[in-house]
Structure 1
């Protein structure tokens, strides 16, 4: 719940976000992706997660 609120704040206040906070959210997103990849067995979903992670890694 708190995480979702944080994401909403992140989206609405994106321009005023400090680098440290942005980095924190970025790392949190990667941890969530890692966890999802390990727990989901559906190849289609894991492929999409992989693509998403690939995009995250190139920004």
Structure 2
């Protein structure tokens, strides 16, 4: 059974950079040697969607 290993700071930075460059989740996952579901989960947990404020 594989032991769970958290994403490192460097991997999280690579995810952010990949997003800025317009890369897909699958492409980022392949480059990091991780499952696409891992990247997707990271984005869901730690990169909340930017919502416009309802203020003036």
TM-score in terms of structure 2 length: 0.36
Q: Point out the structure with the larger helix share.
A: 1
TM-score in terms of structure 1 length: 0.34
